[in-house]
Amino acid sequence: MSEKQSEPAAGSETAPRGRVASSLHVSAPKLRWGLLLGALGAVLAALVTMTVTGFDTDKVEAHQPGTAPVVRDKEFSSADVGDCLNWTRTDRSDLLKVNCADEHLFEVAGVINLGAYPGREFGEGTRHPDSLRLTELRDEHCLPAVQNYLGGRLDPRGKYLVNVMSPSPAGWQHGDRTLRCGVQVAATAASPPSTGSVVGSDQSKVHPVGTCLGINQNLPTDPVDCAQPHAVEIVGNVNLGAEFTGGPPTEAQQDKFVEAECNRMSTEYLGSPDAIRNKTLTLFFDYLEPSSWLAGSRRLDCWLGKGVDREGFAPIVGSARGEILIDGQAPVPPPNTGRSTPAPLPGAAPLPPQPQPR
């Protein structure tokens, strides 16, 4: 099981890796494509290249002649390290600082003053940076800022994504040159809200049991209703911290513990040890790399899905607890009468007569 590793996904720095429960007797070579247990993280690495901007409006609030203009990003411009920000409007014009214990979309980890940047790139009268330049600034300034904020404990495959917020075009026009670096929950679409500060939290990328992850180009995406097409269904969460209390456990140690736990949890979730086989599904699980372990992550999801040879996952409709369709078809349970003899191929020559004993 330790040899099962997929190829690096486009746009990602780390190849997604994972495991298939061996007790299901699935062909290892056939599933070596998929081991896509970290596929969601790979999809995020490839797709989440959007830079969060301060606002989508360049309007300035009305003001009296001779007074300073009041721009919509007043709350943003006063946000400091440790502040949490939230908004509900798509243009983010209602952005507010909130208590980090409440729901929020962004936690500030660093404030970067581009006005101190050498040269004239960000001087008076310059244009607001485009998304490509902001992405470069995020990678240059925000990754180290977040690492410093978290004391070096950022899980590179965890639930949080490093991003940057910039002033609105109106704020930029009126001289605001500060960026806010921070973290948000990773997602392929709109980032979901978070509660509690990321500082000292478990950054494990796990989902509530019963969650179904959508499917895009045969790979898992964000949570969806299980009645919608999805790639996998979460049947359990394994806490490795309950078994390992020292340094990072080896892959082999994790495999043995997580496989047993995922098999147990899937049986409890489905109500029968034969349900996975009868629905022609496969139980998958991931493992924690040392960098994730040292960042404090301890938990892993157990996934149920249908692998498609070297292509990812087949779309499933319905929860595995009930009736499902796989790629539009109801699953047909395999025979359980033992090893079957394959039928001869059409046109195959008959076997030569066997000599009879004398």
**Contacts for 225 with CB less than 8 Å, ≥ 6 apart:** 212
Percent of the chain with pLDDT over 90: 54
Residue 338 structure tokens: 């033992």
Q: Which of 252, 307, 281 is nearest to 28 (CA)?
A: 307
Question: What are 189-200's pLDDT values in tens digits?
Answer: 778 899 999 998
Task: Report pTM.
Answer: 0.74
45-54, 206-215, 242-251: least confident range: 45-54
- Residue 299 confidence (pLDDT) above 50: yes
Mean pLDDT of the chain: 79
Q: Which of 149, 184, 147 is nearest to 165 (CA)?
A: 184
Q: Bigger pLDDT: 61 or 310?
A: 310
Q: CB–CB of 177/87 below 8 Å?
A: no
Domain ranges of the chain: 19-44+200-326, 74-185
Question: What are 220-265's pLDDT values in tens digits?
Answer: 999 999 999 999 999 999 999 999 999 999 999 999 999 999 999 9
**Contacts for 221 with CB less than 8 Å, ≥ 6 apart:** 40, 43, 188, 189, 213, 214, 215, 231
Rounded CA-CA distance 299/72 in Å is 40
Beta-strand relationship, 96-98 and 160-165? unpaired
72-76, 152-156, 188-192, 279-283: least confident range: 72-76
